[in-house]
Amino acid sequence: MQLFYTVRPGETLYQIARRWELPVESLIAANNVDPPYTIYVGQQLSVPPGVDVIRVRPGDTVFEIAQFFGVPQAILFEANRLNPPYTIQVGQLLKVPPGNPYYVVQPGDTLFQIAGRFNVTTGGSSNHGLIRQINQLPSNDIFPGMQLIIPYAPPGDQGFIAYTSNRGGSYDIWLYNLSNGVNIQLTTGLGESFSIPFWSPDSSRIAFVGRYGILYVFHLAEGGIARIDQFEDGASIYLNWSPASQQLAYTKQNHIILYHVFLHQAQRIPQSGATDVQWFPNGTELLFQAPDQSGISQLFRIRTDGTSKRQITQNTGGRFNNVRLSPDGSHVLYTTPGVSISIIYTLEMATGKVREVRGGPLAKNYFPVWSPDSSTIAYSATAFEDIGYFSLIRTTERQGEDDRTIAISNCLATPVTWSPDGRKLAYLSGCNKQGTTSEMWSIEVSHPVPVRLIEGVVITSLQWSPMPTYPLKKTYISASYKIQFQYPAHWQKITDERYEGTDGFFQISAILSDEPINRVCQNEAFQQLLPYGSNPRIMRRQIQQQEACVIFPSEDQSPEMRGQAALIVQYPQPIQIEGITYNYFILWADQAHLNEISSTLTFLW
């Protein structure tokens, strides 16, 4: 849910943003305020997550802190679980949310307008139905004074974000479907907290190091998983796919390994101390970090056959960490010297020129990653160490210019990942005292409104799919009913004939009738209990050259039916189940998925 601040006399957007250490651009975008960015007394502003913790100083009271931040005292009481007489101690960390967890409806407001104003949009269109749903409103009618929870909406983008989570009871690789917000579990009991999903460039496979240090490759279309290798310390392994998505590069026991996932063959190149091996875009050379003859960390390039090795840096300082080659191969970034101080540098391959990125205020800059077009770097910068640490989500151009904060995470550090088009970033937040993250957020760089995608589960890593990918499917086969079709892979089996997901369902059966199909469809559509509503629509179809019909529900269908629609198809020849002969096959499914499923239906003869 979004939080709302009420503007007081004399306040500006800049002052309000500064109070929670927010980029003013983020506050403007969160409320779609137009130039000249005028706000008025009493206006409610959606305030993105910022630095919402202070350390109590001598003389501070809850009343004075509430007055300074312009929020009701009740918010501080609730956020910090303070009981009468509401005493606070010097040095105490106090949470200061930027407002109420609801919006108060104003005269003239509509759900459609509210959704647009506060970025409750999916696929670029208003998702006011989500506001109605979350507030359990019987209709779109609202009235002044009504308190509405304003949710975050699924972005409606193409593609998936792969992430590691224990939401199923053990650490595994999951997918977040950006088009509808559905979460899909890919593995069962194979991951570890340190597992990082690495997408192949064509988004067909995900490689990760999981339980017992085993390297797995998951094939999304087939749902199959292969065991490739095993490591003593899987937590430190960086994986990199070849441009053709056929080979994995990694290091093991002082060797560079190139593993061909189709041929199941491994090539080994001896290289002591090598790490961060990755492919150049030409597919014939590799970049890696390794110590030189003096033991100093350097960057090298080498041909994939192990020849033509050459050193490309003249480092005299600390170790190179997080080495990442830009997608176009023109630049390299790295951090140095270590964890307590971590500064980002970029190296221009053509000239050898090295540039420092200004970075965050504490010189703790982590998880740098290139944008798909190689023009920009995103990273996480630790800040505000006096109040328990936050992370600035920052972007900078590849020569270190235009270094700016676009969002704030309440974690010490967080991995970040780019969308395929380079328009958005995703990152983690929601850290507890142990530093465990429980939220995933995305933000559009040019319209910096943070949108929460997931909350309430442990998440340790994330990677956006490099290409827009299509929804995962599985094939349902029934020898008894002699049919097969595809359905969303995340739906779970309820019975042999019924599968369900959070976004839909299907169920199958057969009909015993000697009547023509138009009569069979009429009988199903207008049953006495009206499962399709009082006025369902019947449409004639042909499926696999067989006569068929589709039944769509009317608007007054009971919500308990979950939008149930139906497909009835005449069998090419009657089938027998337990000695009874059936002439028609029937598929029930939610209206949103019926056409999609029925388009893949085939008979088994």
- As its CATH architecture, domain 4-148 has Roll (3.10)
How large is the greatest C-alpha to C-alpha distance in the chain, in angstroms? 88
Point out the least confidently predicted range of 295-299, 379-383, 397-401, 566-570. 397-401
Give the pLDDT score at 180. 85
Residue 376 has pLDDT above 90, yes or no: yes
Query: Side by side, which strands form the sheet with 183-185?
Result: 183-185, 172-177, 160-165, 459-464
- Mean of pLDDT values over 135-159: 92
Tokens 């998951």, residue?
218
Q: Are 243 and 279 in contact (CB under 8 A)?
A: yes
Categorize the per-residue pLDDT at 545 as very low, low, confident or very high, splitting at 50, 70 and 90.
confident
pLDDT tens sequence across 175-192:
999 988 889 899 999 999
- Mean of pLDDT values over 349-360: 93
Give the pLDDT score at 605. 72
Give the pLDDT score at 604. 87
Give the pLDDT score at 121. 93
DSSP 578: T
Which of 220, 218, 222 has its CA nearest to residue 210?
A: 218
Q: Are 20 and 26 in contact (CB under 8 A)?
A: no
pLDDT tens sequence across 222-238:
778 999 999 988 778 99
The average confidence (pLDDT) of the chain is 93
Q: What whole-number percentage of the chain has pLDDT above 90?
A: 81
Categorize the per-residue pLDDT at 470 as very low, low, confident or very high, splitting at 50, 70 and 90.
low
Point out the least confidently predicted range of 263-272, 279-288, 458-467, 535-544. 535-544
Q: Are 377 and 398 in contact (CB under 8 A)?
A: yes
Tokens 């590849």, residue?
398
Cis? peptide before 144, omega within 30° of 0: no
**Helix orientation angle between 73-80 and 62-69, rounded to the nearest 10 degrees:** 120
Which of 202, 192, 263 has its CA nearest to residue 230?
A: 192
Categorize the per-residue pLDDT at 535 as very low, low, confident or very high, splitting at 50, 70 and 90.
very high
Give the pLDDT score at 236. 84
Query: Side by side, which strands form the sheet with 275-279?
Result: 275-279, 285-291, 297-303, 310-311
Residue 124 has pLDDT above 90, yes or no: no
pLDDT tens sequence across 252-288:
999 999 999 988 999 999 999 999 999 999 999 999 9
DSSP 7: P
Give the pLDDT score at 135. 94
Residue 348 has pLDDT above 70, yes or no: yes
CA angle 74–76–80, rounded 5-degree value: 120
Residue 441 has pLDDT above 80, yes or no: yes
Residues 6+ apart with CB under 8 A from 253: none
Categorize the per-residue pLDDT at 220 as very low, low, confident or very high, splitting at 50, 70 and 90.
confident
Q: What whole-number percentage of the chain has pLDDT above 70?
A: 100
Residue 208 has pLDDT above 80, yes or no: yes
pLDDT tens sequence across 480-517:
999 999 898 878 899 999 999 888 999 999 999 999 99
Phi–psi pair at 526, nearest 5 degrees: -115, 50
- Mean of pLDDT values over 32-57: 94
CATH 3.40.1000 fits 473-603, yes or no: yes
The correct CATH number of 160-464 out of 2.130.10.10, 2.120.10.30, 3.30.70.1400, 3.40.190.10 is 2.120.10.30
Task: Parse the chain into domains and list their residue ranges.
Answer: 4-148, 160-464, 473-603
Element of type H or E holding 519: helix 517-525
Element of type H or E holding 582: strand 580-590
CA angle 422–428–434, rounded 5-degree value: 160
Which of 164, 175, 91, 180 has its CA nearest to residue 130?
A: 180
Q: Give the SS3 label for residue 478.
A: strand
Residue 104 has pLDDT above 70, yes or no: yes
Q: Residue 509, Cβ neighbours under 10 Å: how many? A: 14
Categorize the per-residue pLDDT at 471 as very low, low, confident or very high, splitting at 50, 70 and 90.
low
pLDDT tens sequence across 60-78:
999 999 999 999 999 999 9
Q: Are 481 and 577 in contact (CB under 8 A)?
A: yes
Which of 373, 371, 377 has its CA nearest to residue 344?
A: 377
- Mean of pLDDT values over 18-23: 94
Q: Which two tokens stand for residue 261?
A: 């996932």
